Structure 1
Amino acid sequence: MSISQTSSSSFATPALALPQVAPQQNPAERVCRVLHIINGEHFSGAERVQQLLGKRLGQFGVESHFACIKPGKFSEHCQLRRNQVSDFPMRGRWDMQVVKDLSAKVEQEQFDLLHAHTPRSAMIAALVARQTQLPWIYHVHSPTSRDSLRGIINRVNYWLERYAIRSCSQLITVSKSLRREMLKCGVPRQRLTVVPNGVPAIEPIVPSQRLQSKSWKIGLIALMRPRKGIEVALDAIHRLKAKRLPIQLELIGGFETSAYESEILNKIEALELSEHVRWTGFTNDIPTAIRGLDALLLPSLFGEGMPMVVLEALAAGVPVVATRVEGTPEVIRDGVEGFLGEPRDAVSIGNKLEQLVSDRNRWATMSQQALARHRQCFSDENMARRVARVYRKVLAQSKPPS
């Protein structure tokens, strides 16, 4: 097969692709109007969490709106009502006009709470909260100090985050590993709440229909950037090619930069993997892409709070081969829903893939266990319920006694 190329920088479902249905609300559960302050530049894991909260929180009496301070893919691809999403573009990291504009929006539309999702949006939320006297919440999606390979940017964001969160009422971390990270930063225990990510149920695969299949389709679904370990995946597939194992790797998703795209495509050619690796690029239908796989591969080097694509694989009953980084082992149990290899280790990843493809019956059992794991622990409804509970707690503490 030849390498198929596209130009998108992320993966998502187009905006307004599905009608919004007003949820049934219990009057006793009416909570508040919340303004989520987000970057909005990409549409990857954290942005899909934000979208799901925008959809699901209404079920628990929360009216959610989103302000994008780096407008981009979120506004284009999110499945939210148009009046839920507004753009407040910053001309640069230190452009403070956005604080004045957002403060006016907050007061005009009478929001009760602010919810930030990135170091930059945390800084803005802290300043808007000071202007409007509203409480605010910070959602920690990944370890800021290890979010990328750009050391200077990581350090700037880390100190920006630490300064901003001194005034936030509560921090939500998507995994226990991130909770430990924030404790090390000096955040008091009483200001930390773990709310695991969640995804909707999707139509699962039928393992019995594939028991006789001899070939294996493995998919790596991500915004392609260095910390996702694409190079490690290619080296692992190169090792398995020498063993003549019938494995096809699909790279699904756009590249963060054109330079990194060229680097990876050149590596595929250099390793002579064009017949074994296919880049399909952007897709607007993640569930269908996952159901077409026998396994999901996520060889991340670091920086995974709780990967949404891993949860989506579980929801489809697709086993996962991933690395032992941050929150991933809190989702995937080695030998149960899939396998966990060592980060930056192509030999380890290759061995885990070889274990997976050596036994279709064991794979079928893993598929069933993956589906059960999602239903028990990682639904989007449970995620939204727990976030709404945090809102109630913060609002109760911020109101003076009657």
Structure 2
Amino acid sequence: MTRPLRVLLLIDAFRMGGAETLLAPLAVAFRDSNVEMEFVSVLDASADAVKTNEILTEAGVATRALGIKRLLDPTAIPKVVREIRRADFDVVHAHLEMATTLAVPAAAIAGRSAVCTFHHVARPLTGREGARERLAVAAAGHAYRALFVSQASRDSFQEIYRPKGLPGNWGVMHNGIDIGNFVPGPVDAEVRTELGGTGGPLVVLPAAFRDFKGIPNAIRAWPLVLERFPDAVLSLVGGGSAEAELRAEVSAAGVGRNVVFAGIRSDMPKVYRAADIVLLPSIHGENLPTVLIEAAASGRVVAASRTGGISDIVVHGETGMLFEPNNPRALADTVIGLLADPGRCRTLGEAAVIRARSEFSASSWAERLYALYAEAAGKKR
């Protein structure tokens, strides 16, 4: 029997965040494969989030913590080296900055290959935050492969840290998510009514109420949409501290009857299927927004702004439509064009399902990672 490929997945901590919660579907995708993966955090377990641990436990993941207190702890790299040698791991895959900075030199000392993944779009940083990221980027230059989860992420890191040229070991590999519950299906009439879709077209905007999501632009665009489709409803699915400001925007735009605050929902597969269009008008900062992958897997046409990693998910004119960010007129024109052509919406939605399954499912992500792990291990073994 072939010896399993042993992978140490090292992360800063099991906090509540996108990178951390993605580990659960990854673990499930690798469950019946030739990969044995252990999940270890660099910091003490006190830095973990209860909810993240619950998600990982439900996925059958047992976590451990190395208890390293700070990046410059002289015992940090030796601890990681001992961890690599303890189970004779073939590859170390580091997620986030502290784990990358420690894993790459530790793997080299242990005679193993290191892979690292950056999960955000970079922006100029100063102080300790900037120093930590610079160290991680420097370490990544010596990894077998440095991965970025979107083209926008890699471009942003190159612009800030490597403007003279793209390092040869930098690549883009999209994360995958568990899309098992996100499938095309019939509309739940009760859910559609709860979202505000009582008669006219229903456009769902699923997002936390945060400034970079661009929700005010959707509200300002809605009077333009209503000129063509007087019964169209914009349903804001989410919540956050900016809700009072958004309600004021709705009042100022005079669209209170056509913009619904639907709250935070736990039945998102039904929410997506209830929508005619799923809208995300982000201004900046998006890396690889999960809601667009979920909507695409559900067979719903997406209209989103052309910023960050959104264009990695939405292929303009093929699986959805993109518009310029921070531009209510462009947003309105895009929504109007889609609502006026239901047949095109169906065609785009069908293509979106195929792309979501082939490029953004946890199983497709695991297949790409397995090929990389095997290649990296072969270079050292």
**TM-score range normalised by the length of the shorter chain:** 0.7 to 0.9
> Any conservation in 1 of the 2:122–2:157 contact (CA below 8 Å)?
no
Match of 1:387 in 2: 369
Shift of 1:391: 0.9
Which residue does the alignment assign to 1:368? 350
Paired amino acid for 1:230: I
Output the CA distance in 1 between the equivalents of 2:364 and 2:338: 31
Structure 2 residue identity aligned to 1:64 = M
Q: 1:275 to 1:61 in 2, by over 3 A?
A: farther
2:320 corresponds to which of 318, 329, 338: 338
Correspondence for 1:355: 337
Which residue of the partner structure matches residue 42 of structure 1? Answer: 16
Assess, with a 3 A threshold, how the Cα gap between structure 1 residues 137 and 223 changes in structure 2: closer, same or farther.
Answer: farther
Shift of 1:98: 6.7
Structure 2 matches for 1:195-214, cutoff 5 A? 195-199=173-177, 200-201=179-180, 202-206=182-186
1:165-314 superposed matches below 5 A = 165-181=140-156, 185=162, 186-189=165-168, 191-199=169-177, 200-201=179-180, 202-206=182-186, 215-241=200-226, 245-255=230-240, 258=241, 260-314=242-296
Asked whether 1:135 is paired with 2:103, we answer no
Alignment of 1:71 onto 2:53 = no
Query: Could you report, residue by residue, the CA deviation over 1:271-291 in whole angstroms, capped at 9, with x for unpaired residues?
Result: 455543344444444323322
Q: Is the 8 A contact 2:21 2:55 kept in 1?
A: no
* Contact in 1 for aligned 2:235/2:260 (Cα 8 Å): yes
**1:322–1:340 Cα contact (<8 Å) kept:** yes
1:37-61, CA deviations, whole angstroms, 9 ceiling, x for partnerless residues?
14443344x4454332222123432
**1:61-82, Cα deviation, whole Å (9 max, x unpaired):** 2223333544224224346545
Q: Give the superposition deviation at 1:34.
A: 2.2
Distance, in Å, in 2 between the alignment partners of 1:116 and 1:250 is 39
Code of the residue aligned with 1:121 in structure 2: it is A
Equivalent residue letter for 1:145: R
2:30 corresponding residue in structure 1: 57
Tell me the equivalent position of 2:134: 159
Q: 1:109 to 1:249 in 2, by over 3 A?
A: farther
Q: Residue 122 of structure 2 corresponds to which residue in structure 1?
A: 144
Taking the aligned partners of 1:273 and 1:375, their CA distance within structure 2 comes to 37
Instruction: Give 1:118's match in structure 2, choosing from 93, 96, 99.
Output: 96
Q: Greater CA deviation, 34-43 or 316-325?
A: 34-43
Unpaired runs of 5+ residues, structure 1, are 1-26
Q: Is the 8 A contact 1:145 1:155 kept in 2?
A: no
Query: CA 1:62/1:76 → structure 2, altered by over 3 Å: closer, same or farther?
Result: same
Matches of 1:224 and 1:153, distance apart in 2: 29
Q: 1:101 to 1:374 in 2, by over 3 A?
A: same
SS of the residue corresponding to residue 144 of structure 1 reads coil
Amino acid in the other structure paired with 1:67:
V
1:339 CA drift (Å): 1.1
Change (3 A) 1:65 1:309: farther
Instruction: Quote the Cα distance in structure 2 between the aligned partners of 1:96 and 1:281.
Output: 48
Q: Which deviates further from its counterpart, 272-281 or 195-204?
A: 272-281
Q: Secondary structure at the match of 2:287?
A: coil
Distance 1:246 1:41 in 2: 43
**C-alpha distance in 2, partners of 1:105/1:218?**
50
- Note the alpha carbon deviations across 1:145-177, whole angstroms, 9 max, x for none: 27xxx8878755642432332332211233344
Q: In 2, Cα distance between the equivalents of 1:56 and 1:117?
A: 18
Distance verdict in 2 for CA 1:126–1:326, change over 3 Å: same
Identity, in percent, stands at 24
Once residues 198 and 315 of structure 1 are traced to their aligned partners in structure 2, the CA distance between those partners, rounded to angstroms, is 12
- Any unmatched runs of 5+ in structure 2? 193-197
Shift of 1:89: 7.2
Q: Which residue of 2 aligns with 1:84?
A: 62
Shift of 1:338: 2.0
Q: Deviations over 1:339-373 (max 9, x none)?
A: 10001212211211111112223222222222233
Write the distance in 2 (CA, Å) between the matches of 1:160 and 1:238. 49
**CA offset at residue 303 of structure 1?**
3.2
SS of match in other structure, 1:114: strand
1:36 is aligned with what amino acid?
A: L
Structure 1 residue 218: deviation in Å? 2.2
- Once the two structures are superposed, residues 308-345 of structure 1 have per-residue CA deviations (whole angstroms, 9 ceiling, x without a partner) of 32222221101000111243223323233221000121
Question: For residues 110 and 253 of structure 1, do their structure 2 counterparts lie closer, same or farther at Cα, with a shift above 3 Å needed?
Answer: farther
**Contact 2:28 / 2:59 at 8 angstroms: preserved in 1?**
no
Q: How far apart are the structure 2 equivalents of 1:151 and 1:239?
A: 42
- Structure having greater relative contact order (Cα 8 Å, sep ≥ 6): 1
User: Equivalents in 1 of 2:111, 2:255: separation in Å?
Assistant: 58
- Aligned match of 1:14: none
Displacement of 1:390 after TM fit? 0.9
Mapped to 2, the partners of 1:341 and 1:314 lie a distance apart of 17
1:34–1:62 CA contact under 8 A, matched in 2: no
